[in-house]
Amino acid sequence: MPLYIVPTPIGNLSDITFRAIDVLKNSDIIFAEDTRTSKKLLNHYSINTKIESFHKHNEHFKLNSILKKLESKDKISVISDAGTPGISDPGFLLVRESLASGYEVFCLPGPTALIPAIIQSGFPTDRFVFEGFLPLKKGRKKRLEELANESRTIIIYESPYRVLKSLQQFIIFFDPNRKVSIVRELTKKFETQFRGTISQAIEFYKKNKPKGEFVICISSSKED
């Protein structure tokens, strides 16, 4: 049996495909980043498939047992807490090793935060670079120096605890007037979006405490 990578909603539970529900219902086992979080989704759609944890702290440990299940012809699905596994979430290692072992891998189309974020930013979408979460310490300065002259739209994921600090670092390397689009809690009830310059964003988040998950889009250096 092949391995199925199944995207799940990033906020609104309605943002899941019929095919995703069907695959999850008909899997022998679902490996989830956080079983407690995923059970809310599975219960919502009456999916009673067996579920086990698969996250960044145990993916190396679980790898061989999952490959053995594939060898036994089990139909296996992998989901993350939200979005598409492998995009800033566990999944890459398992996909690589499954392919190396001769198993087919199918990734269903579905939710991911970066695409709606860039589309509603108003920045060019023909070419962009996705950075995910920037390095916290080692390599961060070098990465920011490289991005300073990036001619494509930049997409970065950030936690509420580091949004303001990241923006204050951006202004060291980027033009203060470089445009940003910052969306918070995509698809959720309290989704909000800020559009302006990096300098304006810093002032905004000094006055408005960041809450929720953030996607930051930065205009290309050519637009400054």
Q: How are beta strands 153-158 and 128-133 bridged, if at all?
A: parallel
Angle at 187 between CA 158 and CA 19, to 5 degrees: 110
pLDDT at 221: 80
Count of beta carbons in the 10 Å neighbourhood of residue 78: 26
Structure-token pair, residue 141: 């300065």
Give the β-pairing of 29-32 and 76-79: parallel
Q: Which residue has the tokens 């979080």?
A: 37
The H or E element containing residue 40 is helix 35-44
Enumerate domains of the chain plus CATH numbers: 3-107 (3.40.1010.10), 114-223 (3.30.950.10)
Helix H or strand E segment including 119: helix 114-119
Please list the rounded mean pLDDT of every run of 10 residues in the chain (224 residues). Answer: 95 96 98 96 98 94 95 96 94 96 96 96 96 93 94 96 96 95 95 97 96 96 68
For residues 79 and 91, what is the distance between their CA atoms, to the nearest angstrom? 8
* pLDDT score, position 224: 53
AA identity, residue 44: H
Identify the bridge partners of residue 76 per DSSP, sorted by sequence position. Answer: 3, 29
202-212 confidence digits (pLDDT tens): 999 999 999 99
**Cα–chain center distance at 212:** 14
